Amino acid sequence: MIMIDSTEQIHGICLELAALLRARGERLVVAESCTGGWVAKVLTDLPGSSDWFDRGYVSYSNQAKQSMLGVNAETLARYGAVSLQTVGEMTRGALEQSGADLALAVSGIAGPGGGSQDKPVGTVCFSWQMASRDPRLEQCCFVGDREQVRLQTVDHALHQLIRLIENA
């Protein structure tokens, strides 16, 4: 299990991301499910975040994913809310709705219930996407209680977004 100091480590990641986005003159949109707005919260904790943070969508239900982000009902029925296909559609929809330059989406099973043999508790799907590019997709399985799974999700989402920007 990864132990993360939620106060200092996440804050440091946010500062690094903010500096990158500000230097590039880019704006970020986030679409969250299992984290319930936690990514948006830690980003907007930073003074001046309005310079680079456009908006956040909390699309916890399938209906919200469809109505807010344009996720296809067929995708949800075939692959489920926690799937690479769904998070890919979430970033696409977030970019289309917002006009931002970069999008991040997460959907997962934080627990303690809701898991299955194919998608156990701790399964989280991620999508990172730059406007006019294909999304980068990843599925992880984190270990820990609900809080720890969600915290690891926020940490991983932000770290990988920084990597995407640095490698662009």
Alpha carbons 20 and 33: distance in angstroms, whole number: 25
Angle 146-166/8-24 helices, nearest 10 degrees? 30
Beta carbons of 152 and 114 less than 8 angstroms apart: no
CA dihedral (122, 110, 85, 1) positive or negative? negative
Map out the domains of the chain as residue ranges: 8-166
Q: Say what the pLDDT of residue 86 is.
A: 99
Q: Say what the pLDDT of residue 5 is.
A: 59
Angle, CA of 165, 24 and 57, to the nearest 5°: 65
Q: Say what the pLDDT of residue 8 is.
A: 85
Q: Say what the pLDDT of residue 93 is.
A: 99
Q: Say what the pLDDT of residue 4 is.
A: 53
- Residues (pLDDT < 50) of the chain are 1
Q: Say what the pLDDT of residue 3 is.
A: 53
pLDDT tens-place string over residues 1-37? 455 557 789 999 999 999 999 999 999 999 999 999 9
Residues contacting 23, CB < 8 A, separation 6+: none
Which CATH architecture best describes the domain 8-166?
Answer: Alpha-Beta Complex (3.90)
Q: How many other CB atoms are found less than 10 A from the CB of residue 22?
A: 13
Beta carbons of 162 and 154 less than 8 angstroms apart: no
Alpha carbons 82 and 101: distance in angstroms, whole number: 24
Entry pTM:
0.95
